[in-house]
Chain A
Amino acid sequence: MAYKQEHPWLTVVHGGSPAAILRAPQNGWPAGAERRIREQPAAIHEYFPLAGQAVGRVPVQPETDPHGLAFGTVDDQARARLLAALAEVLPAGELAAEVERLYRHGDDAERRGVLRALPLLPDSLVRLGLELVADALRTNDPRLIAAAMGPFAAEHLDQAQWRQGVVKCLFAGVTLLAVADLVARTDSELLRMARDLAEERRAAGREISPDLRALLGMTVLMALVPPRAEGDRR
């Protein structure tokens, strides 16, 4: 059990449901901003940068996630509410253009807000969402990488990109708690990559992080499966 406490991502149910993403920050600012955005959608460009000043920037679950990497921050939640309001009033094409603008013109916090809100947006924005996730995974900023590997990535990223994202988390020191549906999507190829990474680190005399060690632990479970025989099409 101690093992699971050390690695809560083995058991955690990720907060990817709309209700969890939208949980209300503790003041009235988002509600007022949502109202304005429903009346005048362009106002979102005025409100989006202000979220941190208005509701603060603390992690949503500080005890389990002190940097807000896994479950985001209260300003992430406030921005998600603004985007959900925008999605109610704009047709798909315009919505995609505005969401892309908010991301491209955003600072790191605004970009995180967009990434974490992707599961709330209609299916017509999946292609844009994948572009933005790929953009975030090209950065070296752990908070962007973490936000990119949430429930949207779990649902839509192809397996090769998703594996690269997980390994990027290991490199960037992002807790694997940030990776939604990690256990369900982990495959033998990811475990091979993890083993190779561990081998490189051992050869270099470097430390194996607890998260990497835990992934390797999953390898042990896989090893219980008998190796494939020649011609075995399983």
Chain B
Amino acid sequence: MRIFDPHIHMTSRTTDDYQNMHVVGVRAVVEPAFWLGQPRTGLSSFTDYFDSLIGWERFRASQFGISHNCTIALNPKEANDPRCAEVLDVLPRYLGKDGVVAVGEIGYDSMTRAEDEAFARQLALAVEHDLPVLVHTPHRDKKAGTARTLDVIRESGADPGAVLVDHLNEVTAPMVADSGCWLGFSIYPDTKMDEHRMVALLKEYGTARILVNSAADWGRSDPLKPYRVGQAMLAAGFTPAEVDTVLWQNPVDFYRRSGHLMLGGDVPADVEVVSFAGNSVLRGGS
């Protein structure tokens, strides 16, 4: 089973996680820029964070045979702090870079005016740079928030086929499926979705345009959840090819649209991959 986790915050995870992920078949990840738990207060702590997503974290992942890509954006939560507004001005310098495969996570947290503004501006940036978009849906007031999210996406003129709407559940999935956007599901130990509900949804919707992720971060979460979904799919009678569609091919197809997706390492040869830096695993030191 080869796995591409399309949404995981590796900055917050340990080397044991990387090792365990590799053992169960994870060979590629996308790390969306998001908030770090502790609010940031200025531009340079954002640019240092973005630089680590395209630098140190990518290198750390490569040591474990995992290709690391990222998405770059001002997240909705911190979009509410006026001290962070200038982050929007430096985003373009990141959007042409290797391994920056989408604008994201953008969207709503509390559905404020500042969030409206940041969401619309960043959708426009994605359209301008011809990049896919990763959209976060709010935890609170999720159904109304998702409906409003889809309205904003429609108004932006972005191609729904280049938009992934994430953290969906049984209630929000139908409207996103109707919109033509890709559907993302985060499998969590307690909240969001679990693997068995995920299998039920896959039976209902099929495997097209569906991505499954761990969204693992600094909270209670589990980077092996996509693997558990694969196991649950097989147990429920899905074929290995269908598991591969959901856990590998769909994320590759979605993020490949950027032209910046970097895959390498020991990915089995039956997928068309862009080789990266000679696939090297280099040892770090002090």
The chain A residues found within 8 Å of chain B, CB to CB, are: 45-46, 49-50, 52-53, 57-59, 62, 66-68, 73, 105, 107-110, 139-143, 168, 171-173
Q: Answer yes or no: B286 CB below 8 A from chain A CBs.
A: yes
**A57 lies within 8 A of B284 (CB):** no
**A173 lies within 8 A of B283 (CB):** yes
**A142 lies within 8 A of B98 (CB):** no
Q: Which B residues are in CB contact (< 8 Å) with A68?
A: 277-278
Q: Answer yes or no: B97 CB below 8 A from chain A CBs.
A: yes
**A53 lies within 8 A of B98 (CB):** yes
Q: Which B residues are in CB contact (< 8 Å) with A62?
A: 278
Bound form: Cα–Cα A141–B52 in Å? 12
Closest to A143 in B: B282
Q: Which B residues are in CB contact (< 8 Å) with A173?
A: 282-285
Residue picked from A52, A73, A139, most chain B C-beta under 10 Å: A52
Q: A49-B98, A53-B259, A110-B97 known; 10 other A-B pairs, CB under 8 Å?
A: A46-B96, A49-B97, A53-B98, A53-B260, A66-B280, A67-B277, A67-B282, A107-B54, A109-B98, A142-B283
**A107 lies within 8 A of B55 (CB):** yes
Q: Which A residues are in CB contact (< 8 Å) with B93?
A: 45, 105
**B278 lies within 8 A of A168 (CB):** no
Bound form: Cα–Cα A143–B286 in Å? 14
Q: Answer yes or no: B275 CB below 8 A from chain A CBs.
A: yes
Shortest Cβ distance from residue A75 to the other chain B in the assembled complex, whole angstroms: 9
**B98 lies within 8 A of A171 (CB):** no
19 CB contacts below 8 A, A to B, read: A49-B97, A57-B276, A59-B278, A67-B282, A105-B93, A107-B97, A107-B99, A109-B277, A110-B97, A140-B286, A141-B55, A141-B59, A142-B283, A142-B284, A142-B285, A172-B284, A172-B286, A173-B284, A173-B285
Bound form: Cα–Cα A67–B278 in Å? 6
Residue picked from B58, B276, B284, B286, most chain A C-beta under 10 Å: B284
The chain B residues found within 8 Å of chain A, CB to CB, are: 51, 54-56, 58-59, 93, 96-99, 259-260, 275-278, 280, 282-286
Q: Which B residues are in CB contact (< 8 Å) with A107?
A: 51, 54-55, 58, 97-99
**B278 lies within 8 A of A50 (CB):** no
Count, A-B residue pairs, CB within 8 A: 71
Q: Which B residues are in CB contact (< 8 Å) with A52?
A: 98
**B96 lies within 8 A of A142 (CB):** no
**A168 lies within 8 A of B98 (CB):** no
Bound form: Cα–Cα A53–B275 in Å? 11
Closest to A168 in B: B285
Closest to A170 in B: B285
**A57 lies within 8 A of B275 (CB):** yes
**B98 lies within 8 A of A140 (CB):** no
Given A49-B98, A105-B93, also A57-B282 (CB < 8 A)? no
Bound form: Cα–Cα A49–B278 in Å? 18
Q: Which B residues are in CB contact (< 8 Å) with A141?
A: 55-56, 59, 284
Given A49-B96, A50-B96, A105-B93, also A57-B286 (CB < 8 A)? no
Q: Which of A45, A53, A58, A109 contacts B278 (CB 8 A)?
A: A58
Shortest Cβ distance from residue A211 to the other chain B in the assembled complex, whole angstroms: 12
Closest to B284 in A: A140
Bound form: Cα–Cα A142–B281 in Å? 10
**B59 lies within 8 A of A108 (CB):** yes
Q: Which A residues are in CB contact (< 8 Å) with B277?
A: 57, 67-68, 73, 109, 143
**B282 lies within 8 A of A142 (CB):** yes
Shortest Cβ distance from residue B272 to the other chain A in the assembled complex, whole angstroms: 15
**A66 lies within 8 A of B285 (CB):** no
Closest to A58 in B: B278
Q: Top 6 nearest A-B pairs by Cβ distance? A: A173-B283, A172-B285, A171-B285, A107-B54, A67-B280, A142-B282
